[in-house]
Every structure is written in structure tokens, then in C-alpha cells.
A and B are shown apart, each in its own frame.
Chain A
Amino acid sequence: MGKATVIPFGPQHPVLPEPLHLDLVVQDEKVVEAIPQIGFVHRGLEKLVETRDYNQFLYVCERICGICAAGHSIGYAETIERLMGVEVPKRAEYLRVIWHELSRVHSHLLWLGLAADAFGFESLFMHAWRLRERVLDIFEKTTGGRVILSVVKVGGVHRDIDDSQMKEIIYVLDGIMDDYRKIMNTLLTDYSVKNRTVGVGTLSHEEALALSMVGPFARASNVNYDVRSLGNGAYGDLSDFQPILDAQGDCYARVKVRCLEVLQSIEIIKELAAKMPAGDISVTVKGSPAEGAEVCNVLEQPRGECYYYARGNGSKNLERMRIRTPTSQNIAGMVSALKGCDLADVNMVILTIDPCISCTER
């Protein structure tokens, strides 16, 4: 065995869209240990609840991360609604889920492009981002923003999607689905991709449970946990929802789970669009969260379960707001999956976990 060497990985690295630093202890090209370090994009957003009222903080919360913006605004709004006992109109719940699932499609397509780029599969990267652009155009037309939607409010949503817009969304999604299937089949059957991912960075079912992994990372290790199964909001009206699972727990399983989740999200949007109830899209929320009232809430973000905690103090400002994001959970699993892999495979392991560092650090 050769001498152990520490190789710094990141925070600036071609495969990392966001700054994450790892000290890789390497022995004979094998990673013995990975020591993560975060803190490069910490902005102290949770502290801002003390100076922003609960309505203003919604706009702060959705700026935690660009990719998960829709999820964070919905998660925060649901938390405050529970805190204040507000009943949201059914149509608003449906619209929220449609935007949230669209954001999952765009998040997974973005990840797919980045992963393909890391494989050196440039044309697949271009095709994935070409399809993602169509989803961003839907956001632009229905919410007025491409990435930061600012469409959710405490008590409902600001904008409605009318029938003609909904038909257009379904038409665009059908177009995406056709092209996406070709991309997905290419990626999942490609010899080079399989060569780089099968059996690499394996995390067993037991390890995934012990380390409390969430999201597609956990589901690729056969952990049957998806917050959408709890049936919160419009998810409860879905005829049949089964999380996509894979038993292998390696990089290929994680790629596969994410790829199939895009199709699942499109099916969810189609089903909810067909069932969309008529009615109001928001209710007026007056007053402030009661002193000492506290609530917690969970939401399935594209990267996994996101946990929200809020405590009121009788004023318009919250006493405490805490968000535990999926990547902060998954970093422990990432470190575990990195142990024993080749130095050249570190890129693949990190990318297939899809870390979101802006969310993690807030």
C-alpha cells in the first residue's frame, strides 16, 4: 500500500456547480476518507426572520436556492398556514403542486445535463438543457419569472392558470416526454455510462437507513420514503402514487431513479390538470402567528425531504425559522459512498447525489 495523500477537491471544480470542498485522503488512487467542508455561500437567511415579517420572508425563503425556489416558497407558505390555522383553497393546492412538479422536471433535467457533461457526453447535455428551457418558458408564461417564481403567498397563490394555458402546458410536456424518452433510453443503455456508473459509489439499504438519507439518493438504495406519499395538499388526490425505487444503491441506480422521476412528475401534472377543481385561488390571511405557537412541515424537494420549523412570538415577525434541506442530510451518505471508490470516480459519485450547496448553507 502506498502512502496516504490528501488531495483537495473543490470548492472550484469543473463538475461542481456550487462550492463544496472535500479533502480526499487517497491511497493508491483509492479514496480512503473524504472530509467535507461547507460554508462558502452562507448568507444567514434564517436570521432574517427577525427583521422581515412573515409575508416578506416568503420572498427571502424562495431565494435560498434557485433550483428549489418553487419548493421553498411552497414549503414555507404551508408551514405558516399550519402555524396560523389557514385553510387553503383546493385549486391553489393543485396549482402549487403543478408548479412544484414542473420545478422537479427542470431540476432533474438540469442535473441530467450536468451529469452528461461530466461523462463527456456533450450532445446529451445540450439536449437535456434544450428540454429544460421549455419548462422555464412555461414558468415565464404562467408565473412571470423563469427561476424565481414569486407566485405563492401565505393563503394560496397569486396567479391562476386558465384552461387554455393548461392545455398549452400539457402540449409542451407531451413534446418534452417524446424527446426525453429518447435521451433517457440513450443514457441508460449507453455502454460508457454503464461502465462509469454501475457498481460505483454503492450505498447499501442498511447504510442509507442508518445515515437517514433522503430523496432519490435514498430511493436508489431501496428506501421507500417519499414525502409525496404522505398525501399532503393535492398529492392526496392522486389516484396512485408509488415512489420510484431501485435496489442497487450505486451511481447507475441513482441516475435511473432521477431519470424515471421526470416521467413520473409529468404524469402527476397531467393527472392534476385533468382533475383541477374550480374556485378561488387564495384566502386573505390576517393577524400574526400566536406567541409560542410552533409547527413543523415536510416537503419533497427535487433532492429529497426538506423540513421546515417555525415558531411565532405574537408579532408579524417569527421567533425562529429553521430549514433542514435534503443535501445537508445527504452529505453524510455522500462521504460514506466516496469511501473506497477510485479517485477518477469521485466526480460521478458527487454528481449522482446532486448536492445543492446553496440550500445546505442558506
Chain B
Amino acid sequence: MSGFKLGGMTLGSVFKKPETTLYPFEQKVAPKGLRGHVAISPETCILCGICQKSCPCGAITVDKKARTWEIRRFSCVQCGACVRSCPKACLSMETAYTKPATGKSSHVVEVPDTKER
């Protein structure tokens, strides 16, 4: 008889709203605070390198001479340690996941020199 008990539950699922989203016709809305990927606003970055030191997997490289901030997306584990350690709050955690890629490229951002302006 127990099989019929679960059978009732399974048959009931036919008349209920689907548990899954009908991707790609329907896209799931990312909840606030979802750890998708790390983004930077280079205007406020002071190239202090604290994010590089706090990163547990060494995914971030800050080059003061070349004025670049680099992140290797495939090494990043989205822990958010860099975002929390940034003294200028120029790093942020965006909700969108990074797109699939065919190669392990890194994302290099040029940081403008605000003193020259």
C-alpha cells in the first residue's frame, strides 16, 4: 500500500506548478547578495593590494607600476574576502555568474591615475 501513498503524491505533482523553472523561457531571478562574480570600479581603486593579500587562492594581481588590477576568473572561488577587505569599497560582488569560456583567460582592468586629472 505504501507505493500508492507516494503514487498519490507523484500524481498530485501533475496538477501542481512545476518545481523547476522552464529555462530558457523563464529565467530565475538572482536573490540579493548572491555571490556571482567580483567586479571593480577602477575610478576609486587606489591599487593598495589588500585584495591580493586577502585572496585565499591568489586569483588577484595588483600591478602598481602598470596601474592594472587583474583577476583570474577560473581561480576565483567567489568567497568575497577581497570585497570585504577593500578599504575604498571599489570591489563589489555582482549577482550574475561569469559566462562559460573556452580558455583560462584573466580579466585585466586599467586603473586611471586620478592625480593626473
B54 within 8 A of A: yes
Decide: B35 and A179 in contact? CB cutoff 8 A: no
How far apart are the CA atoms of A285 and B93 in the complex, in Å? Answer: 23
Task: Indicate whether A123 sits within 8 Å of B6 (C-beta atoms), given known contacts A59-B56, A133-B19.
Answer: yes
Decide: B2 and A189 in contact? CB cutoff 8 A: yes
How far apart are the CA atoms of A1 and B79 in the complex, in Å? Answer: 58
Contacts of A182 in B (CB 8 A): 5-6, 9
Proximity string of chain B (55-75) to chain A, C-beta cutoff 8 Å, 1 when within and 0 when not: 111000000000000000000
Q: Which residues 36-58 of B have a CB within 8 angstroms of A?
A: 54-57
Proximity string of chain A (39-72) to chain B, C-beta cutoff 8 Å, 1 when within and 0 when not: 0000000000000100111011001000000000
How far apart are the CA atoms of A150 and B7 in the complex, in Å? Answer: 39
Contacts of A56 in B (CB 8 A): 54-56, 81
Decide: A186 and B81 in contact? CB cutoff 8 A: no
Contacts of B3 in A (CB 8 A): 186, 190
How far apart are the CA atoms of A59 and B31 in the complex, in Å? Answer: 22
B96 within 8 A of A: no
Decide: B79 and A186 in contact? CB cutoff 8 A: no
Contacts of B9 in A (CB 8 A): 127, 179, 182-183
Decide: B81 and A59 in contact? CB cutoff 8 A: yes
Q: Which range contains the number of B residues in contact with the other chain? A: 20 to 34
Contacts of B84 in A (CB 8 A): 158
Decide: A141 and B2 in contact? CB cutoff 8 A: no
Contacts of B78 in A (CB 8 A): 145, 150
A124 within 8 A of B: yes
Contacts of B35 in A (CB 8 A): 144-145, 150
Please give the distance in Å from A215's CB to the nearest CB on chain B: 27
B24 within 8 A of A: no
Task: Indicate whether A55 sits within 8 Å of B81 (C-beta atoms), given known contacts A123-B10, A144-B33, A191-B2.
Answer: yes
Name the residue of chain B whose CB is nearest to the CB of A137.
Answer: B31
Contact of A57 among B2, B6, B56 (CB under 8 A): B56
Proximity string of chain B (84-98) to chain A, C-beta cutoff 8 Å, 1 when within and 0 when not: 100000000100000
Decide: A63 and B77 in contact? CB cutoff 8 A: yes
Contacts of A158 in B (CB 8 A): 80, 84
How far apart are the CA atoms of A141 and B79 in the complex, in Å? Answer: 16
B108 within 8 A of A: no
Decide: B5 and A186 in contact? CB cutoff 8 A: yes
Contacts of A130 in B (CB 8 A): 19
Please give the distance in Å from B103's CB to the nearest CB on chain A: 24
Q: Which residues 114-166 of A have a CB within 8 angstroms of B?
A: 123-124, 127, 130, 133, 140-141, 143-145, 148, 150, 158-159
Please give the distance in Å from B16's CB to the nearest CB on chain A: 11
Decide: A127 and B93 in contact? CB cutoff 8 A: no
Contacts of A144 in B (CB 8 A): 31, 33-35, 80, 93
Decide: A141 and B5 in contact? CB cutoff 8 A: no
Please give the distance in Å from B94's CB to the nearest CB on chain A: 11
Contacts of A55 in B (CB 8 A): 54, 81
A185 within 8 A of B: yes
Most chain A CB within a 10 A radius of its CB, from B6, B10, B19, B77: B6
Decide: B2 and A190 in contact? CB cutoff 8 A: yes
How far apart are the CA atoms of A140 and B31 in the complex, in Å? Answer: 7
Task: Indicate whether A141 sits within 8 Å of B31 (C-beta atoms), given known contacts A52-B56, A123-B6, A185-B5.
Answer: yes
Contacts of A59 in B (CB 8 A): 56-57, 77, 79, 81
Proximity string of chain B (1-39) to chain A, C-beta cutoff 8 Å, 1 when within and 0 when not: 011011101100000000100000000000101110000
Contacts of B5 in A (CB 8 A): 182, 185-186
Closest 9 CB pairs of A and B: A56-B56, A144-B35, A59-B56, A190-B2, A186-B6, A141-B31, A59-B79, A144-B33, A150-B79
A56-B55, A150-B79 known; 5 new pairs, CB 8 Å cut-off, are: A56-B56, A130-B19, A144-B35, A159-B33, A182-B9
14 contacts between A and B (CB under 8 A): A56-B56, A56-B81, A123-B6, A123-B7, A127-B6, A140-B31, A141-B31, A143-B33, A148-B77, A150-B80, A182-B5, A183-B9, A186-B2, A190-B3
